[in-house]
Amino acid sequence: MYIYGPSVFTVGLQDWPRHRNAVSRPFNEAIMKFVWDESLRQTQAMVQYWTSGSEAGITDMQENMRTLSLNVLAVTAFRESYDFRGSPHLEDDKAGTQSYRDALFIVHKYAIHLMLIPYRFLTGPMTPRSLAKIGLAATSLKGFMMKMVTEEAAALSRGEPGSGGLITHLVRALDQKTPQRTGSGDDVKKAGKGGLSVDEILGNIFVINFAGHDTTAITLAFAVMLLAAHPEVQEWLHEEITTVTQRKPVEDWDYALFSRLKRCHAVFFETLRVYPPITGLPKITSEKVQALRVGDRVLALPPGTETYPMVLGVQTDPNYWGGDPYVWRPSRWIVPSGAAAGTVEELLVPQKGTFCPWADGPQGCAGKKFSQVEAVAMLACLFKTHRLHPKTQTADAKDEPSWPGEARVRGVWTNWEGMKEESKPKSPSAG
């Protein structure tokens, strides 16, 4: 993850609080309304793209979710607004014509290459075209990020409020007392105790993009495909969406609806529980001996011990999740509340430490609510007026995967059918 500079993901324990404070500060309620509004706008555009496609169905589900998530992040975090485009039209190979979104898309897609080979080694004249494209995107992305930092710093120095996105808060964390290097070099200038250096800001911008984009996109792709396989859960969702939104147009949906869409939360949480994008959390014990209780025993972990708690293991433990822990059942997250049992639905609050897709404790993900708002808005918008069906691939079909990740979901070819307003949804116990 050390591609552009140190970040909250790569620094040691001594520097971590400084980075964590700078990164977590922007994720406040003021930014969430932007997340909500942009998620709805992008989802409407994605639905239009899906419904205007061929009869082959949706063959690029995962890439579409990545595009949606990337666009939401770009506008709410960095005020870079883009219209939704299907994955076949997203990458641009023409040198020098990439937008911030296009460069970021390629860097994310080939991040493993950049973790192994510094991008400055991928831009030479003898570099193969496939690798040169990655190097160009990585170089362009740094240029875009530097431009953002420079413009925000200039605006703030003039007493202006800045763009109001995450980038504004990160630039406010810039250590003004430390000489900053803004050239093309990769040397890191050490910041003061409270601020960040330019390279540290670049590193954290990339980490926010990377962590906030791919994990959410993967989970949303799983959720939509699972819903395609469970039409009764789609009906269950549609019932809530119709009731809560009162059939208002999506353009009139207020952010206040977010907390009321409990079943949309439940679908997202259940997908994260059974199919977490990160199955383990690498940890290391502090400078003191740590006591760990395992059953009736207490183990003493020496300082500096590397551990790897298994998220999937605890999230599918029958001791906490009942006799069907591997079954995708969103209704397990809904519990009755209120004076009259069953009249009001509330979300289950899991026992501490049994549900941790965003990690837990002081090192929990700063963008936790960001991802929840994005997911709930997307699910509510998708299933307001449409339902999703699996499309069976015929034996003589000649369609081949057009992108590497498609092999994982091949066989879940989907198409859309309008949801009739008079259709009767099933009982809330469905799912």
Q: How many CB atoms lie under 10 A from the CB of residue 156?
A: 16
Q: How far apart (Å, rounded) are the C-alpha atoms in residues 372 and 258?
A: 9
* Mean pLDDT score, 88-113: 69
Share of the chain above pLDDT 90, in %: 33
Q: How far apart (Å, rounded) are the C-alpha atoms in residues 386 and 424?
A: 14
Asked if residues 259 and 345 have their Cβ atoms less than 8 Å apart, the reply is no
What pLDDT is stored for residue 56 in this prediction?
62
pLDDT digits (tens, 9 = 90+) for 243-299: 999 999 999 999 999 999 999 999 999 999 999 988 888 888 888 898 988 889 999
pLDDT digits (tens, 9 = 90+) for 43-55: 999 988 888 766 6
pLDDT digits (tens, 9 = 90+) for 145-155: 898 888 888 88
Let me know if domain 15-177+196-278+310-392 sits in CATH 2.30.38.10.
no
- By mean pLDDT, which of 98-102, 138-142, 324-328 is the weakest? 98-102
CA angle at 376 for the pair 371 and 377, rounded to the nearest 5°: 100
Q: How far apart (Å, rounded) are the C-alpha atoms in residues 217 and 61?
A: 10
Q: Let me know how long the chain is.
A: 431
Q: How many CA atoms lie within 13 A of 120 on its CB side?
A: 6
- Read off the tokens for 413: 């070819």
- Read off the tokens for 343: 């009249």
Q: How far apart (Å, rounded) are the C-alpha atoms in residues 308 and 2?
A: 21
* Mean pLDDT score, 86-111: 68
How far the first Cα of the chain sits from its last, in Å, is 39
CATH 1.10.630.10-classified regions of the chain: 15-177+196-278+310-392
Nearest partner of 151 among 136, 22, 143, 190, judged by Cα:
143
Q: Where are the alpha helices (DSSP H) in 230-310?
A: 231-245, 262-274
Q: Which residue has the tokens 């996109």?
A: 217
Backbone φ and ψ for 301, nearest 5 degrees, come out as -95, 120
What pLDDT is stored for residue 193 in this prediction?
54
Question: Radius of gyration of the chain from Cα atoms?
Answer: 23
Three-state secondary-structure class, residue 386:
strand
Q: How far apart (Å, rounded) are the C-alpha atoms in residues 224 and 174?
A: 40
pTM, full prediction: 0.83
Q: Where are the beta strands (DSSP E) in 211-308?
A: 283-284, 290-294, 297-301, 306-307
What pLDDT is stored for residue 25 in this prediction?
81
Q: How many CB atoms lie under 10 A from the CB of residue 322?
A: 11
Strand partners, 334: 347
Q: Is 365 annotated as a binding residue?
A: yes
Asked if residues 417 and 55 have their Cβ atoms less than 8 Å apart, the reply is no
pLDDT digits (tens, 9 = 90+) for 179-237: 444 443 333 344 445 678 889 988 888 888 877 777 889 999 999 999 989 999 999 99
Q: How far apart (Å, rounded) are the C-alpha atoms in residues 334 and 311?
A: 22
Nearest partner of 16 among 207, 187, 160, 224, judged by Cα:
207
Q: How far apart (Å, rounded) are the C-alpha atoms in residues 372 and 238?
A: 18
Three-state secondary-structure class, residue 306:
strand
Q: How far apart (Å, rounded) are the C-alpha atoms in residues 375 and 396?
A: 36
Q: How far apart (Å, rounded) are the C-alpha atoms in residues 345 and 259?
A: 12
Nearest partner of 2 among 171, 153, 145, 119, judged by Cα:
119
Q: How far apart (Å, rounded) are the C-alpha atoms in residues 359 and 311?
A: 9
What pLDDT is stored for residue 361 in this prediction?
75
Strand partners, 415: 389
Backbone φ and ψ for 365, nearest 5 degrees, come out as -65, 130
Q: Which one-letter DSSP state was computed for residue 417?
A: E
Q: How many CB atoms lie under 10 A from the CB of residue 430?
A: 18
Backbone φ and ψ for 30, nearest 5 degrees, come out as -60, -35
Q: Is the pLDDT of residue 160 over 80?
A: yes
Q: Residues with Cβ < 8 Å from 388, sequence gap 6 or more?
A: 224, 227, 228, 234, 382, 414, 416
